[in-house]
Structure 1
């Protein structure tokens, strides 16, 4: 992962601009075939051993083209809104490995706001009915202020499980993340560490399994928006396998 891309991921620079690729890495291995299932299993095993907090790992199927096209299996790692999609697949007699590291958009939709307003209206009416026209709304306001303060300071209060749960909620999650969840040096460092760990494990594993066959990766491609939309290639000298 590029240093600038990692810094942008850590700072949350892309978080509100829509889904955006932070890095796309790719390498082609000529005249070789590998097992995608074994590769994914090894990556999952190594990353699980790192015990990265709040990380979800799953295999997902993504269409190769339109809705009626065949699906391609990817290994997906998601932490908060930062996602890695790792792919290993044949192309003719060759084989390629790649990953896309991207951030999902934090978008509050109208229906989510409508649900929250409806819930607050219901609670307001219930408080007036059961507690009283003056005491009910006052008590509800105090509870909401306490809840908002707790959401704002969840990590500082040691409520990491609450924070992780709120982020994943379909209705509350985007509202919590946009308006209540404070960014911090810790969160920025964790995002950078997560991106660096996954990137190094994937690249290291590819280098390892190709090296076992005496193949050196001659060229790798890496894309990041900070390089003005261009792919940069890193090329090494081919090394002949020893007898």
Structure 2
């Protein structure tokens, strides 16, 4: 696959020159980050809103005047602010958001019990808003399983639950490269391309088990399709590997919980608003309208809405698994993405090795995506045995 390092007399193919123009920056806020931010700041504001009325309006902040131990409710805005400050970290966002939502539910329940024990209060909109915002925060604080920093995707790649298109690699004997520089170069090239819906993330996979050494991979994602790229040492040598696969949608327990609670809240709200006679029909009609809308988002031309829903945890998994329909355009852009990333990675591997004086004879021995479909085959025709001559 490789020739030996070239001497000064030999001709070395120069790598493609890189322009000094800065690559465009990624968007600082994703739809998930915006949703978590709004929910967290909304919880802080709702904590100071009217929760109930005794002789006067009482908020979560002033409830300690009636119940001395109610200062524990102040943990709700503290956790909400911590969630807001850490919302860009996927791991911190998940745990802070989940703990904040659970603390808000417990706080509203504590407030309801204590308020009824000292009188017959009239509950205000602040407690309801706190419950709804905490529910939304719980939903948006989850993580899409395809970017989870654990070995879930690796386990699926090793099982039959993933459609693995190809797995290829290349070895450079006796020469080492900088892993971080290679990953940074690929990420900058992807940002410069401005491919819609494409994102990158660094993933750490264990070599054998939980206690074994971890390898850092660069993951390139678009919807459910991904490339896991690894550049690492192998003794005194160095290798590059690329896995190209599609991960099916995973609806986890968080998504099921959010779905059931959301339907229950919508059902009881319909009955409370329209009564026992008209509430259930209105609930079924609203469900039918929502389902029709989700089925026809792409037909209505709402591509941005489709992209936002795909990037949201919980909601995105449910939408993609049950409502989203595949189209010719989606299939075409999928093939373009797969081919473009493959060519880009190949180009940068060649540039990286050329800088060390190594010329590729064949960069990656790859299996094309449609190889089996268009593969030529030889068909052997059976010849009829000659009939015996009759005298």
Q: What TM-score do the two structures reach when normalised by structure 1? A: 0.77
Larger RCO of the pair (alpha carbons < 8 Å, separation 6+): 1
Q: What corresponds to 1:154 in structure 2? A: 297
* Distance (whole Å) between structure 1 residues aligned to residue 227 and residue 214 of structure 2: 18
Q: What corresponds to 2:169 in structure 1? A: 26
Counterpart selection for 1:135 from 254, 271, 278: 278
Q: Which has the larger radius of gyration?
A: 2
Deviation, structure 1 residue 186: 0.8
Counterpart selection for 2:216 from 73, 77, 87: 73
Deviation, structure 1 residue 68: 0.8
Q: What corresponds to 1:167 in structure 2? A: 310
Q: What corresponds to 1:231 in structure 2? A: none
SS at match of 1:133: helix
Q: What corresponds to 1:221 in structure 2? A: 365
Gaps of 5+ in 2: 1-159, 373-391
- Deviation string for 1:20-68 (max 9, x for gaps)? 3211110001121111111111111111112121222111211122111
Counterpart selection for 2:186 from 25, 43, 58: 43
Gaps of 5+ in 1: 1-16, 229-243
Stretch moving more, 213-222 or 90-99: 213-222
Deviation, structure 1 residue 223: 5.2
Distance 1:32 1:62, change over 3 A: same
Counterpart selection for 2:242 from 63, 82, 99: 99
Deviation, structure 1 residue 195: 0.6
Stretch moving more, 178-187 or 102-111: 102-111
- Deviation string for 1:66-98 (max 9, x for gaps)? 111121111111111111111111112211111
Equivalences for residues 112-131 of structure 1 within 5 A? 112-113=255-256, 115-131=258-274
Q: Which has the higher strand share?
A: 1
- Equivalent residue pairs, number: 213
Q: Please provide the CA RMSD for this pair.
A: 2.6
Deviation, structure 1 residue 108: 4.0
SS at match of 2:271: helix
State yes or no: 1:178 paired with 2:321.
Answer: yes
Q: Which has the higher helix share?
A: 2
